[in-house]
Structure 1
Amino acid sequence: MRDENCIFCKIANGEIPSSTVYEDDDFRVILDLGPASKGHALILPKQHYKDICEADMAVTGKILPLAAKIGSAMKKGLGASGFNVVQNNGTSAGQTVFHLHVHVIPRYENGPVMVAWNPGKAESRELEETAGILKNALAEELFTEEK
């Protein structure tokens, strides 16, 4: 399925030109127009999914291996010393285009700090309580998926 009003659907399916670095039946990988660093790429599924929670498992199962190949090419071709794989879900997580997409951001020695956070502290009891809540919610998700 595609969304006629989605700019990433149009880019992924070749209706809007892009700097494409890879394409197959499921994905188009383009260079980001607002790059965090030189070579910043976006993996765009050709089918429309609002976010990773809506995506087909067959599609999501192909994304991480593709990101690894792109990151490896960034290291080999651009001299990147590493790369980040970033996928945002929801406005509060920084998602601005509601079409599943994955950022592959090359990192360079002495480059800017990005995709970082200051580690917080959590007590053992809080960790156990949070783990219990997540286990229950995950069990519900998996049970719903089986039906």
Structure 2
Amino acid sequence: MDGKCPFCELAPENIWFQNETGVVLWDGFPVSEGHSLVVHHQHVASLFDLEPELQSELWRLVTETRERLQEKFQPDGYNIGLNDGVAAGQTVMHAHIHVIPRWNDDVPDPRGGVRWIIPDKANYWGDE
């Protein structure tokens, strides 16, 4: 990458909607239809670099994103989260939250959800 933040220099066609807090984008490499990114306007690497009030505003935008996704796609569930730091898999160093719609049967067994980032520890319920 050339050092420029891809979330600070957005092409208008990549923006789904925005407000005074942040912008909501369609993920460039979606894991499901409707996979969205909620990005604060302020450039900080970590969500936790934002003041608590700004974090709350961003979570309100996540709620609005989920509501709009529900209307548009009617998914059966969601994975919502963030990768905070390189060790956690963060590749764009601008705080953002993933909102990933999920459907019944989109994978054979969704139990464990985000726990599958470390597969050996995901199956906490044991083999049945």
| TM-score range normalised by the length of the shorter chain | 0.7 to 0.9
1:98-137 CA distances to partner (integer Å, 9 max, x unpaired)? 00000000111111345233155xxxxxxxxxxxxxxxxx
Q: 1:5 — aligned with what?
A: 4
Q: How far has the Cα of 1:72 moved from its partner?
A: 2.3
Deviations 1:34-71 (A, max 9, x none): 00100000011111011122112222111222212211
Q: Whose radius of gyration is greater, 1 or 2?
A: 1
Structure 1: unaligned runs, 5 residues or longer: 121-147
Cα gap change, 1:108 to 1:68, in 2 (>3 Å): same
Mapping of residues 1-147 of structure 1, within 5 Å: 5-11=4-10, 16-112=11-107, 113=110, 115-117=114-116, 118=122
RMSD: 2.1
Query: By how many angstroms is 1:17 displaced?
Result: 3.4
SS in 2 for 1:72: helix
Which secondary structure state, in structure 2, belongs to the residue aligned with residue 105 of structure 1?
strand
- In the alignment, structure 2 segments of 5+ residues that lack a partner are 117-121
Contact residue 71 and residue 82 of structure 1 kept, 8 A? no
Q: Which has the higher contact order (CA 8 A, sep 6+)?
A: 2
SS in 2 for 1:44: strand
- Whether the 8 Å contact between 1:37 and 1:107 is mirrored in structure 2 is yes
Number of equivalenced pairs: 114
On the 8 A contact 1:29/1:44 being kept in 2, the answer is yes
Cα distance in structure 1, aligned partners of 2:67 and 2:106: 18
Q: 1:75 and 1:82 mapped to 2: Cα distance?
A: 9
Q: Which structure features the higher share of helix residues?
A: 1
